[in-house]
Amino acid sequence: MTRHGPLRDNVDFRRYWIGQAASDLGTQLSLVAYPLLVLALGGTAAQAGGIASASLATRLICRLPAGTVVDRCDRRRIMLGSDLVRAVVLASIPVAALLGGPGYVHILLVAVVEGAAGAVFRPAAAVAVRQMVPADQLTVALSRSQSRAAAVSLIGPALGGWLFSLHRLVPFVADAISYLVSALMVARIKTPLRQPQPARVPDRRLSAGVRWLLRRRTLRNVLTFAGVVNMISVSVVLVVVVTAEAHGRSATAIGFLLACVGVGAVAGAAVAPAVLHRFPVPAVFIGLGVGWVITTTVLVFTSAPWAVGAVLAVAFVLSPTGGVVVGKAMLLGAPDELQGRVASAADLLMSGLAALGPLLTGFLLDVTGARNTLIVLAALAALATAACLPTFRTPGFLAAPSPSQSHVRTGESP
């Protein structure tokens, strides 16, 4: 791999970025298309929800085993195989339609297989960045990855709904094609993505990534904080949607509010390198926590769409910057032989907490109402920020070591 010149001249990273964009877009199309197809075929709302639950459960269950696979196998082959598997299973839906199907069980199996393949693809793709991009360009590279994810999340659901309106099978055809595009881009990456030979006897245990994180108090605390913030963010979005519907807002107005989330995330990813250049890392995380305290407090007193949209957009601006810092710390801090399992363990911690958000928030909304729910979320944000202040003030907070020092504990003394 050539490690000289600006990132824009890194052809392999550009191919990786395009492939990831296509793969992420396919996943977003599926999120909308699965429940719509089940309902269009006469299924119940419970069956439609079962598809989403099965996919989420599969991703969570497969996350740690996937990290082990990534640490033992060629990452290019893992990504390529995952994309091809997803392309084939998604294509089976329109093929089944030509033969008189598909049935609910078929759709459920496709969702499960796609979720499992996605769980394997995700850590492989995250770790591959370290091998394609030099350490001094990781901040920019991860910022561009955050921009891609935010943009796809913004346009993906709307595009999926529009494609479904053309014909209920079109999203699945587009989904399969997106995975083929991703596979093509991955196949053209020339940088070796094999697992490097470790200098010591590798830890083969499934729990090795979790154990590594548990020994890094600073990083562990920050990941927990990030998971709580993720949980608060998805919870606030749910409260906003429920409140808007209760006030008789149109579907267009609700769509505008959700679009503001994506706009804030896209803008935040774009300015992440500049933010990290101008402000110290502890200030970013403190600002992230305080920002959610302010956001939830403001939403207690207003439900006007223009105000809510503006507040949501601002609230999501710092999230990509925090993601860049954490991602860089893990990529440069974790040993080569544990990269996949560390990435999977961290992802499980952050997404696992976020998955609890809608469930707990729905319960609070039913029992206490929107205003009290927002007060609880504001208190949670304040408590999480206050609890992590000592961590944020740790000397060398999240200072990522050089690759040659990857055995040193991130943000701590060896």
Residue 197's pLDDT band, with cuts at 50, 70 and 90, is low
Q: Is the confidence at residue 406, as pLDDT, over 60?
A: no
Residue 383's pLDDT band, with cuts at 50, 70 and 90, is very high
What's the mean pLDDT in 391-403?
Answer: 67
Q: What is the DSSP code string of 2-16?
A: ---S-GGG-HHHHHH
Gap between the Cα atoms of 273 and 282, Å rounded: 15
Q: How would you label 332-368 residue by residue, b for 16+ Cβ within 10 Å and e otherwise? A: bbbbbbbbbbbbbbbbbbbbebbbebeeebeebbeee
Gap between the Cα atoms of 199 and 68, Å rounded: 18
- CATH fold of 208-405, please? Growth Hormone; Chain: A; (1.20.1250)
Q: Is the confidence at residue 177, as pLDDT, over 60?
A: yes
Gap between the Cα atoms of 376 and 292, Å rounded: 12
* Pick from 57-71, 184-198, 227-241, 365-379: least confident: 184-198
Per-residue pLDDT reduced to its tens digit, 312-348 = 999 999 899 998 988 888 888 888 888 888 888 888 8
List CB contacts of 413: < 8 A, sequence separation 6 or more.
Answer: none
Q: Which two tokens stand for residue 225?
A: 């904080």
Nearest to 129 by CA among 111, 146, 109: 146
pLDDT, greater one: 56 or 163: 163
Per-residue pLDDT reduced to its tens digit, 63-96 = 888 888 888 888 889 999 999 999 999 999 999 9
Q: Is the confidence at residue 198, as pLDDT, over 60?
A: no
Residue 51: CB atoms within 10 Å: 23
Question: What pLDDT shows up at residue 341?
Answer: 87
Domain boundaries, the chain: 7-187, 208-405
Q: Is the confidence at residue 184, as pLDDT, over 70?
A: yes
Question: What pLDDT shows up at residue 3?
Answer: 45
Q: Residues 145, 229, 54, CA angle at the centre, nearest 5°?
A: 75
Q: Is 319 helix (H, G, I), strand (E, B) or coil?
A: helix
Per-residue pLDDT reduced to its tens digit, 256-308 = 787 888 889 889 988 999 998 899 989 999 999 999 999 999 999 988 888 99
Per-residue pLDDT reduced to its tens digit, 101-110 = 788 899 999 9
Gap between the Cα atoms of 67 and 73, Å rounded: 10
Q: Is the confidence at residue 400, as pLDDT, over 60?
A: no
Looking at residue 404, the DSSP 8-state letter turns out to be G
Question: What pLDDT shows up at residue 251?
Answer: 63
Question: What pLDDT shows up at residue 148?
Answer: 87
Q: Is the confidence at residue 413, as pLDDT, over 70?
A: no
Percent of the chain with pLDDT over 70: 91
Per-residue pLDDT reduced to its tens digit, 120-149 = 998 888 888 888 888 888 888 888 888 888
Which residue type sits at 97? Answer: A
- CATH fold of 7-187, please? Growth Hormone; Chain: A; (1.20.1250)
Q: Do the first three CATH levels of 7-187 and 208-405 match, i.e. the same topology?
A: yes
The rounded mean pLDDT for the chain is 84
Residue 199: CB atoms within 10 Å: 10
Q: Is the confidence at residue 414, as pLDDT, over 50?
A: no
Question: What pLDDT shows up at residue 411?
Answer: 38
